Amino acid sequence: MAAADPEIVAFTCNWCAYAGADYAGVSRIQYPPNVRVIRVMCSGRVEPSFILRAFEEGADGVLVGGCHEADCHYISGNLKARDRVEGTKELLALLGLGADRLRIKWVNANEGEAFASEITDFTDTLKKLGPNPLKKTKKKAPAAVPDTEEIMARTNTYLCVECGKCTASCPVARRDPEFSPRFIVEESLEKMHAEVETGPQLWDCLTCRTCEERCPYNVRFSEFIRDSRVEARALGLDGKPTQAGQMYSWMRMMASGGLEQDRLAWLDGLKTKSKATAKSDLMFFVGCLPHFDVSHAHVGSNSLDIARDSVKIINALGITPVVLPDERCCGHDLLFGGNPAGFEALARKNAELIKAAGVKRIVISCPEGYQTLAQEYPRVLKGWDVEVLHISELLAEMLEAGKLSFKNDLGIKVTYQDPCRLGRYMGVFDAPRKVIEALPGVELVEMQHFGPDAICCGVSSWISCGATAKSIQMARLAEAKATGADTLVTACPKCQIHFRCALSGKVPGDRGAVEIPVEDLTSLVVKALGDGARSAPGKAATKKAGKAKSKAGSKS
């Protein structure tokens, strides 16, 4: 398409909207020549990821066309499409592309005029909105394929003595007999670096570092996997991301310039600022929490509660944190998803913003963001000298200093899930436990596997969320349940999503043996703080609570 006109991608159902476009043709109704129609059988086939993908590729507007409400050839596909488009609009608003760039329109087979006028009208709107800021003019250069030999040397893979301890301790291998860290390494060695094992197994590793805890030769298997995925992608052997990769789409979009994001609506009423001051140079890094509340509304993610609670806690400590309106995804998932270039772009963007805001210390509630900012940013960014803390560390520090007091007795027995990035990656095992134990009326009981032995929540980086993941989750939830605890506490928004998701659908066997409420540490802390520290849940949380209303940016 010529770049001067707004470019529209239209997904139309075969039966009504596409037929309506045909009718415009047969009737010779003229409309601007800047729409490219992609036919699907039902508008309900349109994944939010397709819409995001079109924007990523530079479309200025996306139209989803379906049958009028009672007309769907497949009974209810159009209604599902409508819900997903609504969710996707929320994502576009968050990203700063604007909800107005996405439309859904019911067009019937006789409504050639309606199709044509919709295109005309949409074109006018898009002209006013101006071009998609993500519009690319040049095709990107193919990513550089990493040097396998270098990866193997760097990750101690040559030291592997093929003892098999890794496989024996691997939570994936325990459930999927085809998966074996030991064989992956062996195969790489035998092929003499010619080509890493690039089968689907490369994407099944959780990079949870349980094997590394056990390996006598310190083979850094997770890092080996992480970097080998780059090569796999270059060979076209991608992993299978959930939700058709919509999260990856928005992460990549955030790596581009030009976006004016609108991601702070959840703050309403909380004390924050946009620049560091002499009094406080502490920043709260929000991460992808606002986006999760769209993409994962279906599981009752309520991720923004974690963000709100974190800020409430920080405020309760007498601190007004910096929260940046233009913060980007930390890049963790792109890095572990085999896209280091995307990761580095995000890292650079964040570093610029953080530096410009004068921030010296960052608090973060997501262990993945924590590990990424603390360990990966220094690796790729020159002069990155910002101190990074997980919220549990800040809390522990304040408790020690006697700056925190609790009002409410919670009267609850809990068990604690160690997030892989917080525990095995960053070595933070004690801080969250100290916080939990300091809460009035809270009894902590440990699961069978805890601390460095803790079992991963089953999914990492939104990849390979399948039968094995579910099985790991079921086993882990059963462990939690077996402790007799009332609640499973995590300190990671993603752990929370994964466990809640596992429980949101059907479960094999006895549901009673695995069903347990899952809550974030921050939520527990806010409950204990009391006194308005926990106000009514924010707008987004109530709006999307529960599965029935799920919009999910996405599915239902």
Residues 216-255 that bind other proteins (CB under 8 A): 240-245
Rounded-to-integer distance, Cα 344 and Cα 546, Å: 36
Residues 69-98 that bind other proteins (CB under 8 A): 70-71, 73-77, 80, 84
Q: By CB under 8 A, is residue 42 in contact with other proteins?
A: yes
Residue type, 313: I
**H or E element, residue 387:** strand 387-390
114-133 residues in contact with other proteins (CB under 8 A) are 114, 116
3-state helix, strand, coil in the chain (%, to 5): 50, 10, 40
Strand order in the sheet with 487-490: 442-444, 412-417, 487-490, 518-520
Binding flag, residue 49, other proteins (CB under 8 A): yes
Indicate the SS3 state at residue 429. Answer: coil
Does residue 333 bind other proteins (CB under 8 A)?
Answer: no
- What's 41's DSSP letter? S
In this structure, which long-range contacts are made by residues 505-513, counting pairs with CB atoms below 8 Å and at least 24 apart in sequence? 507/474, 508/474, 513/478, 513/481
Both tokens assigned to 182: 């030991």
Do 144 and 231 form a contact (C-beta atoms < 8 A)? no
| Nearer of residues 398 and 518 to other proteins, judged by Cβ | 518
Footprint of other proteins on residues 274-303 (CB under 8 A)?
A: 298
Q: To the nearest whole angstrom, how small is the minimum distance from the Cβ of residue 540 to other proteins?
A: 20
| Interaction between residue 21 and other proteins (CB under 8 A) | yes
73 vs 214: CA distance, rounded Å: 56
At 459, list the tokens.
């999914």
**Distance between CA atoms of residues 43 and 339, nearest Å:** 31
Give yes or no for residue 47 binding other proteins (CB under 8 A): yes
DSSP state of 463: B
Q: Which region, judged by CB under 8 A, interacts with other proteins, from 35-43, 364-372, 414-422, 522-530?
A: 35-43
Longest dimension (CA), the chain: 78
Contact segment (CB under 8 A) with other proteins among 7-15, 121-129, 209-217, 261-269 equals 7-15
Kindly indicate which of the ranges 144-152, 153-161, 280-288, 506-514 contains the residues binding other proteins, using the contact rule CB under 8 A.
506-514
**Is 206 near other proteins (CB under 8 A)?**
no
Of these, 85, 95, 108, 157, which contacts other proteins (CB under 8 A)? 108
For other proteins, give the closer residue by CB, 296 or 328: 296
Q: How far is the CB of 51 from other proteins (least distance, A)?
A: 9
Q: Is 36 in the site for other proteins (CB under 8 A)?
A: yes
Task: Determine, following the binding rule CB under 8 A, whether residue 7 of this chain makes contact with other proteins.
Answer: yes
Instruction: Tell me if 58 contacts other proteins by CB under 8 A.
Output: yes
Interface region with other proteins, contact rule CB under 8 A, candidates 26-34, 361-369, 408-416, 444-452: 26-34
- Residue of 464, 483, 487, 522 that binds other proteins (CB under 8 A): 464
